[in-house]
Structure 1
Amino acid sequence: MIKEQPDHDNLPDKAPVLVFDSGIGGLTVLRELRVWLPDRRFVYVADDAGFPYGDWEEEALCDRIIKLFDRLLAEHKPAIVVIACNTASTLVLDDLRAAFPFMKFVGTVPAIKPAAERTRSGLVSVLATPGTVRRAYTHDLIQSFASKCHVKLVGANLLATLAEAHIRGERIDEAQVLEQITPCFVEEDGRRTDIVVLACTHYPFLANVFRKIAPWPVDWLDPAEAIARRTISLLQESEGQGENGKMRENSDHPHDVAEFTSGKPDFAIRRLLQGFGLQFDHIDG
């Protein structure tokens, strides 16, 4: 069903940017967005009741996300929505745009194009969830932008969960992490993989672990800055505003909130939210 367009004339100044993810990986994107949009309010929504998305059947997950956004858009009336989740973006972004044509959505898709432009060896790997690896969207990106490269798709079935544990401050088994990332490292005719695309927003939280245990140095490509720039571009189009400068140190965001569909993030997550300057709220998922 096509939703009615909200009355933007009655919205408060600088309506918030809504950042959505299946868990807390999207905080890497929120962090970058704040650098470029220091005066903007943010609402961070984690569908932790549905995490991990990789375990869902595609049709059921699509239905869940559409229904969730029907409520979120009415409640928060955001200026723009950032889907800070590769799995959700590659699955449901087109459906969200069709269901809510009045809203601008910025997706998070594997950074295959910039990887193809930067690689010197021609060997690129995409480290993603199994769902992102399967999607036709991902394969179309390779065909469109990296046809002259050897691109290896690596579906890591445990890495998002390991990242969530790491973010909580739990000890993780580095041998298990190494097992997940090792397929990314390819040697062929004297050449080696030189770029690994981080195609899940949870993975940048493990970047230091990756660098420590990787078989050889590579460029771990985080798409957060590109997402932030695209968000700014769309806001400029809709609001006619100039680009904001870099964020001041210790900049405060007292009106930013985080909502979890479970309504019950654990103590470690609550502390993490405080560190990001987010006040906890919840929705019923």
Structure 2
Amino acid sequence: MQGSGPVLFFDSGLGGLTVLREARYLLPYEPLLYVADDAAFPIGRWPEAELKERIVSLFDDLIAEHGPKSVVIACNTAFTLAGDALRERHPDVPFVGTVPAIKPAAERTSSGLISVLATPGTVRRTYTRSLIESFASQCHVRLVGSDKLAELAEKHLRGDTVSDADLLPEISDCFLEQDGKRTDIVVLACTHYPFLANRFRRIAPWPVDWLDPAEAIARQLVRVLGEGAASEPSRHLPDRAIFTSGTKDAGVSRLLAGFGLVLD
């Protein structure tokens, strides 16, 4: 059931930190808990039935243990697969999901050529195709699935070397020229990808709008919390991060500290 605990952010790895960062700007006094299911990373390669079962089981434990005030599923793959099941199973917990930002892309495009850069799981999902049918039926939407980008984003964020030659093949299919028009918006449909956005801008064949949904997700969290959001400082333990692998890596601890988190 819904509790008075922290706002819980969930992702398979470090990508959800892009959403947590935006939420911290808008909710400076809210206690936060970041949960990374890094033991299952990258989740886009899991069989869907097994992954859904894992996510649902994991949240049974997380909600029972932490009594979150709200839960942000900061992962397109996890939410499009298991979001409905989680809401049905925990009806008293407000869930904020992450879905590909196809509707705002369709509203913003000038050329009508949109690409959705995602994990293979998100590309396969019926949920994604239903968003296109509902909000972008007048656009040409290209779905581009990358097996490697989430892992490359993790490497980049941890300070490991990621070359342009590694990145370019993963994004090149996003760029389409058709009838004298060019792709003008690329939807970043994985929360890991915004960490690479500046690299993408530099190596892209032409300028496009790289659409990051993190701010919109954070605004939705504010709406969901409503009057229940903390409006002044209170005494609470430091914001924490939990990794399902149990890692105590010093580099990860330093990285999380930059986001105001202590690794449990």
Normalised TM-score (structure 2): 0.95
Q: CA deviation at 1:265?
A: 4.7
1:260 maps to 243
1:38 maps to 28
Q: CA deviation at 1:203?
A: 0.1
Q: CA deviation at 1:266?
A: 2.8
1:92 maps to 82
* Secondary structure of the structure 1 residue equivalent to 2:127: helix
Which digits, 9 at most, give the CA deviation of each residue in 1:63-101, with x for residues without a partner? 111111111111111110000000001100001011111
Misfit runs of 4+, over 6 Å: 242-245
1:107 aligns with one of 97, 118, 121 = 97
Residue type at the aligned position of 2:33: V
* Secondary structure of the structure 1 residue equivalent to 2:53: helix
1:221 aligns with one of 197, 205, 211 = 211
1:248 maps to none
**Aligned residues between the structures:** 261
Q: CA deviation at 1:109?
A: 0.3
In 1, distance between residues paired with 2:231 and 2:123?
35
Residue type at the aligned position of 1:104: P
1:271 aligns with one of 251, 254, 263 = 254
In 1, distance between residues paired with 2:96 and 2:83?
8
Unaligned 5+ runs, structure 2: none
In 2, distance between residues paired with 1:269 and 1:78?
24
Which digits, 9 at most, give the CA deviation of each residue in 1:33-88, with x for residues without a partner? 00100010000000000100011111111111111111111111111000000000
Normalised TM-score (structure 1): 0.89
CA contact (8 A) 1:254 1:277 kept: no
In 1, distance between residues paired with 2:15 and 2:201?
18
In 1, distance between residues paired with 2:230 and 2:125?
34
1:178 aligns with 2:178: no
* Secondary structure of the structure 2 residue equivalent to 1:201: coil
In 1, distance between residues paired with 2:56 and 2:248?
23
In 2, distance between residues paired with 1:194 and 1:244?
39
Residue type at the aligned position of 2:143: L
In 1, distance between residues paired with 2:85 and 2:177?
39
CA contact (8 A) 2:18 2:214 kept: yes
In 2, distance between residues paired with 1:206 and 1:131?
20
2:198 aligns with one of 192, 195, 208 = 208
In 1, distance between residues paired with 2:209 and 2:248?
33
* Secondary structure of the structure 1 residue equivalent to 2:116: strand
* Secondary structure of the structure 2 residue equivalent to 1:276: coil
CA contact (8 A) 2:29 2:230 kept: no
* Larger CA deviation: 67-76 vs 125-134: 67-76
Q: CA deviation at 1:199?
A: 0.1
